[in-house]
Amino acid sequence: REVALHIGSFRNVDLFHQGVYHLECRLFEFGGPEGRKDAVPHLLVPDNPSSGHADLLPASVLESEAAFRSSSVFIRFCEEELDINNVALYRIECPVDSDPPLMLEVKLMFADHTRSSRGKEETPSTPSMMGASDFIKVSEQHLQLTGVLSGVHAYCPVTFDEYHFCRVGLMAHSTLVDFRLRLPSGLPRGSASGNNFFLLADALTKLARGVQRRQTRPESGTEHP
């Protein structure tokens, strides 16, 4: 399964602090046969130099956290709206006969441009000097994606708590991009016995039935947990 996340614009409704903000997004599966499993971001559409925030902390894939970080924006005024326009792709495997929901974790990260965690003598004077270590998580939101194998195409504005009241335009799209046939556990490899043939035929039959069910199932969107 592949999921594309697009972060459009960041609108300040009533944020408690001026400063530099960005989002950290992580997608993972829960309730499946393997328990909790992270989806891996493998492609990131880079920043647009004309977006007005190219001098701030750029968008990046955080491999150690299986997440991606959006471009940073410098918020100064109430009702200010700035474009982020980042796209990240996530890929995750699942058995064809099950379609566990995916959870999208969105963290709102904040840095005070008047202070720095690197020491009093290195206090940055401009937002462009803020590094990744200067940001802290101030709020968090979770969204649940269901019916991912059937295809999800949804727009969901993300908001946070009353002290960090902002709106982020987010779109999610999913599709099935590949099939991989793996032999059942306990099946001897390299053997051409009749028993192995029937086991392989059974696996192919389950695969075909699963595909047929996905094609006839009505489309689903996103829902809050």
Would you list the DSSP string of 64-99?
Answer: GGTEEEPPPEEE-STT-EEEEEEEEEEE----TT--
Q: Where are the beta strands (DSSP E) in the chain?
A: 2-15, 19-32, 35-38, 40-45, 60-62, 67-69, 73-75, 81-91, 102-111, 136-145, 153-159, 164-175, 222-223
pLDDT given for residue 36 in this prediction: 75
* Length of the chain, in residues: 225
What DSSP designation does 129 have?
G
Backbone angles phi, psi at 84, to 5 degrees: -110, -55
Buried b (16+ CB within 10 A) or exposed e, 6-15: bbbebbbeeb
CB atoms within 10 A of CB 167: 15
Is a pLDDT exceeding 70 seen at residue 50?
A: no
pLDDT in tens, 201-211: 676 676 667 65
Please report which confidence band the pLDDT of residue 93 belongs to, taking 50, 70 and 90 as the band edges: confident
* pTM (2 d.p.): 0.73
Distance from C-alpha of 28 to C-alpha of 66, rounded to nearest angstrom: 9
Task: State the sign of the Cα–Cα–Cα–Cα dihedral 121, 123, 129, 131.
Answer: positive
The SS3 of residue 39 is coil
213-217's contacts with Cβ under 8 Å and 24+ in sequence apart are 214/96, 214/99, 214/149, 214/150, 214/176, 217/147, 217/150
Q: Strands 153-159, 164-175: parallel, antiparallel or unpaired by DSSP?
A: antiparallel
Please report which confidence band the pLDDT of residue 224 belongs to, taking 50, 70 and 90 as the band edges: very low
Buried b (16+ CB within 10 A) or exposed e, 42-67: eebeebeeeeebeebbbbbeeeeebb
pLDDT in tens, 176-194: 887 777 665 655 555 544 5
pLDDT in tens, 94-136: 777 777 889 999 999 999 877 655 554 454 546 767 788 889 9
Please check whether residue 70 is in contact with residue 50, taking contact to mean a CB–CB distance below 8 angstroms: no
